[in-house]
Structure 1
């Protein structure tokens, strides 16, 4: 694995964390949205990550079986199966015929923790790219 692979790995991490941050922002924006039916109610979404498959030229036999330099990929965004909040509020303008309104299954505390984690992961990947850049610059200075 060369030092230049670090940029691809860190870049894939930054892209994945950007999608995670966007998903979290969407969840937070819709946390208190109200609906008059279960089918129309917003459901919390989560990103699903996976190890990026290595390129054929990167595959090597290692004693521990691990392949370096793979990075991360986003497999998709899935909706939560958690139960939606149902509240009896017959005076609410969005209440259904039984007097219920429905709220999303978004846990604001969990979403804030996800936001902090994604933000920190993005920052770490950016610092890793900066460190790799500095190391490459130091390598080039050695030849002078």
Structure 2
């Protein structure tokens, strides 16, 4: 028989790991939102996104989440007229990353809240386990 509290911990732990990766990708996107190519017409940094997949923990039978893929956003690059930039094409335009600050901030907030919710689940399961051990000691 599987321990329900262990299942809770495994599920929440997988959520913590997945949301940590999501936050890492958001931070990469924000850090590179001004990264252009180095040569004329070169592609700039391309925004990354995380996709998740559901899986089953064979030991506990708990439903878990894992990072499925890290994909590149296919949204078009922005163009900026900057004829003196080293990455400017023949018309003087530089391709800029397809990273939008507001989208990244929203993703960061959502990932952070999900991380906090999973962390609270771990805390709650630990507290319940501790209470159970205290009850068993008293018997």
Q: After TM superposition, is the score higher than 0.5? A: yes
The runs of at least 4 aligned residues of structure 1 exceeding 6 Å deviation read none
CA shift, 1:71, in A, is 1.1
Contact kept, 8 Å, 2:41 with 2:89, in 1: the verdict is no
Give the aligned CA root-mean-square deviation in angstroms: 1.8
Question: What residue ranges of structure 2 are gaps of 5+ in the alignment?
Answer: none
Paired position in structure 1 for 2:9? 7
Paired position in structure 2 for 1:85? 78
- Choose between structure 1 and 2 for higher RCO, CA contacts under 8 A separated by at least 6 residues: 1
Number of residues of Structure 1 aligned to a counterpart in Structure 2: 134
CA shift, 1:94, in A, is 3.0
Contact kept, 8 Å, 1:37 with 1:102, in 2: the verdict is no
TM-score, with length taken from structure 2: 0.87
Please list, as runs of the form range in 1=range in 2, the aligned pairs for 1:97-116 lying within 5 A after superposition.
Answer: 97-116=90-109
CA shift, 1:40, in A, is 3.0
Question: What residue ranges of structure 1 are gaps of 5+ in the alignment?
Answer: 59-68
CA shift, 1:124, in A, is 1.1
Distance 1:84 1:18, change over 3 A: same
